[in-house]
Amino acid sequence: MNIVVVGAQWGDEGKGKVVDLFSSRADLIVRFQGGNNAGHTLVVNGKKTVLHLIPSGILHAEKLCLLGNGVVIDPLVFFEEVEGLKKAGVLGENASERIKISDRAHLILPYHRQLDVLREARASGEKSHEKIGTTGRGIGPAYEDKAARRGIVVGDLLDPEWLAKRLRSALEEKNVLFQHHFGEKPVEFEPLYQLCLDLGKKLNPFITDVRLLIEEARRKNETILLEGAQGALLDIDHGTYPYVTSSSTCSGGALTGTGLGLGHGKTEVIGITKAYTTRVGTGPFPTEIENTNPALAQQIRKVGAEFGATTGRMRRVGWLDLVALRYSAELNGVTGWALMKSDVLSGIEELEVATEYELDGKRIQHFPPSAAQLSRVRPITRKVRGWQEPLDGLSPEQWPETFRAYIRMIEEFTQIPVVLVSTGPGREQTHEIRVPSALR
Ligand code: IMP
């Protein structure tokens, strides 16, 4: 049985918390896309752990966590995270028995990071439409090399001769860009090659054919938890292109990013959504309230701690967008919602929720395919009464009627049940309304 956890909005919905919760009942936890652009803040027993690359299942001592072929790996960040988890007492000397990295996963090397940062810095003035507001971690340039067949995969680090050939070819083109487009110094082959060889030696115990481990688990009918990063609206194919990340963030990415086949067994897809919406970086955002009600945006940001776990950037804030959520449900085949951060809206008298859009004078019910269209959209919102009392400490039976009505509205609009409700950052502030069958 498989269970996929995906972000249903523009990321930062709280996937890490849900993966952490589900992990105790899964056999394998697998990240399938993205890299250290993600940031999962987990609070367990009042202690905060921030993860960027390693799956959130790592906090469960006996679980095996895998980084699939669809992930892009910055080895320097990976080792930093492993060290951090060792210091926190989460990992011991057996780190390489707990985490495995696919030999097919592509590497983020220093020149990818440099390119990402240079491009973003250039996108100002007349070129400001080119600014994506990336995390600057080299994600786009690494995926770009993968598609261009110029990438270096993790397994290449273990074959010095082959690695030298691959690295020379990659640098030949990169250096034209660095020198002639950006006016920077070329990247020298030798020090980078040495760095890669060293990283290969250190990474070796972690590297394996992750797909085989997944296949073994599948044959034994084990529960495989597939952990997504970012969110559906940042998907390279289905998101608000070009203001997206460079990977397949939807549930389809769980297949290509691990080597799992489409027809195997039953899969449940849990879509994670906040009770409102946030977005980091540039790009259209129909229900944004930053301009219409900056004080409220500020309040939600403060109460919800809406600052990026990776970059510390301020997140843009908006109302819940049901048009976008239904789109996301369709793209992902969502079977149940996890509704996060409802506690943040406590005390707001009247809430708004987008149920339709107006585009160029016409009412539409679907999420438009182009970012240009989406930026012209005016959301048609429904006003609903908020819940005045804090939700923390209340059991579902004690929830205020207005909050229950909010949940029903999401279920009725999307025709998908809310299976989990989170009312605070701690593990204990999570209410499982209906346990996904893969985890029973
Ligand atoms: P990149 O993934 O660093 O290339 O950034 C591309 C876009 O995705 C930017 O708008 C980022 O802010 C956004 N993004 C990337 N990762 C995350 C995430 O984990 N949460 C929210 N937004 C993200």
pLDDT over 70, % of the chain:
99
Q: Among 12, 71, 116, 230, which is best to mutate for testing ligand 1, by the most ligand atoms less than 8 A from CB?
A: 230
Instruction: Provide the pLDDT for residue 291.
Output: 86
The pLDDT tens digits of the residues spanning 275-324 come to 999 999 999 999 999 989 999 999 999 999 999 887 888 999 999 999 99
Is the distance from CB of 273 to CB of 319 less than 8 angstroms?
Answer: no
Sign of CA dihedral 341, 344, 349, 352: negative
pLDDT at 50 over 70: yes
The answer, yes or no, to whether any atom of ligand 1 lies below 6 A from the CB of 422, is: no
How many CA atoms, within 13 angstroms, populate the side-chain half-sphere of residue 200?
20
The answer, yes or no, to whether any atom of ligand 1 lies below 6 A from the CB of 133, is: yes
- For 106-206, CATH number out of 1.25.40.10, 1.10.600.10, 1.20.1090.10, 1.10.300.10 equals 1.10.300.10
pLDDT at 330 over 80: yes
Instruction: Provide the pLDDT for residue 141.
Output: 98
pLDDT at 201 over 80: yes
Sign of CA dihedral 42, 44, 49, 53: negative
The pLDDT tens digits of the residues spanning 397-429 come to 999 999 999 999 999 999 999 999 999 988 889
pLDDT over 90, % of the chain:
86
pLDDT at 38 over 70: yes
The answer, yes or no, to whether any atom of ligand 1 lies below 6 A from the CB of 280, is: yes
Which two tokens mark 195?
């760095």
The answer, yes or no, to whether any atom of ligand 1 lies below 6 A from the CB of 12, is: yes
- Phi, psi values for residue 249, rounded to 5°: -85, -10
Collapsing DSSP to helix, strand or coil, 201 comes out as helix
Collapsing DSSP to helix, strand or coil, 408 comes out as helix
* Ligand 1 closest atom vs CA 315: 21
How far, CA to CA in Å, does 283 sit from each of 108, 373, 413, 431? 25, 11, 25, 33
Among protein residues, the one with the nearest Cα to ligand 1's atom 15 is 37
pLDDT at 113 over 70: yes
* Annotated domain spans of the chain: 2-98+209-439, 106-206
Is the distance from CB of 103 to CB of 66 less than 8 angstroms?
Answer: no
Which two tokens mark 310?
């990776």
How far, CA to CA in Å, does 182 sit from each of 114, 122, 186, 231? 11, 9, 10, 31
User: HEC string of 82-139?
Assistant: HHHHHHCCCCCCCHHHHEEEECCCEECCHHHHHHHHHHHHHCCHHHHHHCCCCCCCCH
The pLDDT tens digits of the residues spanning 223-256 come to 999 999 999 999 999 999 999 999 999 999 999 9
What residues are annotated to the active site? 12, 40
How far, CA to CA in Å, does 202 sit from each of 58, 195, 246? 20, 11, 27
Residues 6+ apart with CB under 8 A from 96: 205, 206
Q: What is the mean pLDDT of the chain?
A: 95
Is the distance from CB of 173 to CB of 151 less than 8 angstroms?
Answer: no
- Read off the pLDDT band of 350 (50, 70, 90): very high
Instruction: Provide the pLDDT for residue 277.
Output: 98
Is the distance from CB of 366 to CB of 337 less than 8 angstroms?
Answer: no
pLDDT at 44 over 80: no
Please give the angle made by the CA atoms of 21, 84 and 159, to the nearest 5 degrees. 100
pLDDT at 45 over 70: no
- The Cα 267–Cα 259 span in angstroms is 15
Record the pTM: 0.96
405 CA distance to ligand 1 middle (Å): 32
Residues 6+ apart with CB under 8 A from 297: 288, 289, 290, 316, 317, 318
- The Cα 264–Cα 369 span in angstroms is 31
Which two tokens mark 47?
């202690």
- For 2-98+209-439, CATH number out of 3.90.170.10, 3.30.70.2860, 3.30.365.10, 2.60.120.580 equals 3.90.170.10
331 CA distance to ligand 1 middle (Å): 19
Instruction: Provide the pLDDT for residue 127.
Output: 83
The pLDDT tens digits of the residues spanning 361-406 come to 999 999 999 999 999 999 999 999 999 999 988 999 999 999 999 9
The answer, yes or no, to whether any atom of ligand 1 lies below 6 A from the CB of 279, is: no
